[in-house]
């Protein structure tokens, strides 16, 4: 992949000086159009060989473009906050919104490549990381992002001369470190591993662009023109919504579904409930104060029918926890800030760090439930969401997050009874709206969506717990008991 980047590409000064002013003007115009339309974000990755001009390129883009709409991120060593969360959390939290450009100097490719070169990972682990990155980038491009990936290359001899030259000049000597020379000794291995990674991650949606970095004028013009062409092509020809390529989902022909097997008549007497509540709240409190809990985080996710009892169940959990160590995230319609980002961004930003609990009152499953039924997104969007949500949850579980997913199920008759009760009770009237009654008319459509959701996202690492919630006492104890069991099991593994 690197042969064409070792040919000695050069641009003379006269040509460079003649072309740069027009190129800068065109880039600024494209950036202004991007900001005005605010239809998609631009993500630029800058990687490559040490001394090939990565830092200079980032500085160049900042100088040539409007700094109000471009932000560069130098992704160095992880902070303590980042180490306590899944690897991709640090990138998700700084993704650019629609209309903006984000430049990543060091990216999600850096760690997998370096770890393989220095022998801290196997070839299979590198391939797995690249596969996960491809899924991530595919998700971003499906959400509308334009990803441009630059790899700046130098031959081994050119890199040696470049590092020597920088080291010799007092003004640039600081840029060459012992680490640079250590990595130079591993040049051949870096080249081999990087070439494999680039080949495996050069996809139709986000291909790698290899640029020879020896001549600054050639590097600058090439980078600027490629960026301009990509921006103008996307701005002038809006991306078409992708069709749903998967086979359509169908309900079982005998109409039997997972909810038909639930025993909705189960109840728990008040006296038994009080005893069980004290038992499991006490157990939950002790578990979260255990020394081993500091190596875990917990996400309790609540979905369910309207009036299913999510709020009451959540209050029984928080009643057992230290208020300093939990957060409740109520999920409603996305804000303007959230709509400017990929769908999962607003959930990534709320992930807990070790020793903490986050409770989602509704969750990322809105895409395959309300957004599907109400047609707030395309069929292609919610069809691809199943695999994206599974990937997301896999990253959580790999990072020692105890993910417990609850669906609170009630019958249609019980929902009607609760709706009417809410209308008659003064302090509960805020809980019932016209939207609740409108959603009730789509009961069958929502039931179909929920069954599909369970079938496709109840995995071995993050299964759904279906809670028979016609009786609130029974439901609350089942939820507390399940949460305790899963935390206890996770603590035994760490």
Note the pLDDT tens digit of each residue in 276-328.
999 999 999 999 999 999 999 999 999 999 999 999 999 999 999 999 999 99
1 pLDDT more than 80: no
More confident residue, 243 or 90: 90
Average pLDDT score, the chain: 93
Global confidence as pTM: 0.90
Question: Does 466 lie in the same domain as 369?
Answer: yes
The predicted structure's pLDDT at residue 242: 60
pLDDT (mean) for 201-222: 95
Q: Which CATH number is 400's domain given?
A: 3.40.50.300
Contacts of residue 58, defined as CB under 8 A and 6 or more positions apart, other chains included, come to: 46, 72, 74, 103, 105
Question: Does 15 lie in the same domain as 81?
Answer: yes
The 10s digit of each residue's pLDDT in 76-88 is 889 999 999 999 9
How many angstroms separate the CA atoms of 106 and 47, rounded? Answer: 6
Whether 248 maps to a domain, the answer reads: no
Whether 246 maps to a domain, the answer reads: no
The predicted structure's pLDDT at residue 177: 87
Domain range for 210 is 3-236
CA 416 to chain centre: 37
Listed range (51-65, 305-319, 403-417) with the worst mean pLDDT? 51-65
Whether 253 maps to a domain, the answer reads: no
Question: Does 468 lie in the same domain as 333?
Answer: yes
User: 219 vs 15, 167, 184, 489, CA distance in Å?
Assistant: 13, 21, 21, 54
Question: Does 157 lie in the same domain as 80?
Answer: yes
The predicted structure's pLDDT at residue 243: 63
Q: How much of the chain, in percent, has pLDDT values that exceed 70? A: 97
Whether 244 maps to a domain, the answer reads: no
Whether 381 maps to a domain, the answer reads: yes
Question: Does 227 lie in the same domain as 146?
Answer: yes
Question: Does 359 lie in the same domain as 289?
Answer: yes
Q: How confident is the model at residue 383 (pLDDT cuts 50, 70, 90)?
A: very high
Q: How confident is the model at residue 447 (pLDDT cuts 50, 70, 90)?
A: very high
The predicted structure's pLDDT at residue 240: 62
Question: Does 110 lie in the same domain as 209?
Answer: yes
Whether 121 maps to a domain, the answer reads: yes
Whether 313 maps to a domain, the answer reads: yes
Question: Does 357 lie in the same domain as 217?
Answer: no
Whether 158 maps to a domain, the answer reads: yes
Which of these three, 205, 236, 267, is where a domain ends? 236
Question: Does 401 lie in the same domain as 315?
Answer: yes
Question: Does 323 lie in the same domain as 282?
Answer: yes
Question: Does 400 lie in the same domain as 303?
Answer: yes
The predicted structure's pLDDT at residue 334: 95
Question: Does 442 lie in the same domain as 305?
Answer: yes
Which of these three, 173, 202, 236, is where a domain ends? 236
Q: How confident is the model at residue 245 (pLDDT cuts 50, 70, 90)?
A: low
Q: How many domains does the chain have?
A: 2
Contacts of residue 208, defined as CB under 8 A and 6 or more positions apart, other chains included, come to: 1, 149, 150, 151, 198, 201, 202
Which of these three, 182, 201, 236, is where a domain ends? 236
């Amino acid at each position: 992949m690197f042969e064409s980047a070792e040919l000695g590409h050069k641009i003379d000064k006269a040509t460079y000086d003649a072309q740069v002013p027009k190129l800068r003007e065109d880039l600024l115009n494209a950036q202004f159009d991007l900001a005005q339309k605010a239809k998609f974000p631009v993500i630029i990755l800058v990687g490559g060989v040490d001394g090939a001009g990565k830092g200079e390129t980032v500085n160049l883009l900042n100088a040539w473009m409007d700094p109000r709409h471009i932000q560069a991120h130098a992704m160095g060593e992880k902070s303590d906050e980042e180490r306590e969360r899944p690897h991709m959390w640090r990138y998700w939290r700084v993704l650019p919104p629609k209309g903006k450009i984000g430049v990543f100097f060091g990216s999600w490719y850096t760690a997998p490549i370096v770890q393989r070169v220095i022998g801290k990972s196997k070839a299979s682990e590198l391939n797995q990381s690249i596969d996960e990155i491809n899924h991530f980038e595919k998700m971003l491009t499906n959400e509308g992002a334009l990803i441009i990936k630059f790899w700046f290359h130098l031959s081994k001899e050119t890199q040696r001369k470049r590092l020597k030259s920088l080291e010799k000049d007092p003004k640039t000597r600081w840029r060459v470190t012992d680490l640079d020379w250590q990595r130079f000794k591993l040049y051949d291995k870096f080249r081999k591993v990087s070439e494999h990674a680039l080949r495996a991650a050069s996809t139709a949606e986000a291909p790698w662009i290899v640029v020879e970095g020896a001549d600054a004028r050639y590097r600058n013009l090439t980078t600027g023109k490629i960026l301009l062409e990509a921006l103008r092509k996307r701005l002038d020809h809006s991306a078409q919504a992708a069709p749903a390529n998967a086979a359509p989902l169908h309900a079982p022909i005998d109409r039997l579904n997972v909810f038909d097997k639930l025993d909705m008549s189960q109840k728990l007497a008040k006296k038994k409930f009080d005893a069980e509540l004290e038992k499991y709240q006490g157990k939950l409190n002790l578990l979260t104060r255990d020394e081993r809990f500091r190596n875990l985080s917990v996400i309790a996710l609540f979905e369910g029918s309207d009036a299913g009892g999510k709020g009451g169940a959540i209050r029984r959990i928080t009643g057992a926890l230290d208020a300093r160590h939990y957060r409740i995230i109520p999920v409603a319609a996305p804000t303007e800030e959230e709509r400017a980002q990929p769908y999962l961004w607003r959930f990534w930003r709320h992930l807990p760090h070790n020793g903490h609990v986050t409770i989602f009152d509704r969750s990322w499953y809105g895409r395959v439930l309300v957004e599907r039924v109400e047609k707030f997104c395309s069929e292609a969007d919610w069809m691809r969401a199943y695999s994206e949500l599974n990937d997301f949850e896999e990253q959580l579980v790999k990072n020692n997050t105890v993910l417990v997913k609850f669906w609170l199920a009630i019958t249609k008759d019980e929902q009607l009874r609760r709706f009417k009760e809410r209308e008659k009770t003064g302090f509960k009237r805020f809980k019932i709206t016209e939207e609740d009654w409108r959603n009730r008319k789509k009961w069958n459509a929502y039931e179909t969506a929920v069954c599909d959701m369970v079938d496709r996202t109840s995995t071995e690492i993050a299964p759904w717990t279906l809670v028979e919630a016609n009786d609130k006492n029974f439901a609350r104890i089942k939820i507390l008991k399940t949460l305790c069991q899963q935390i206890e099991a996770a603590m035994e593994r760490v």
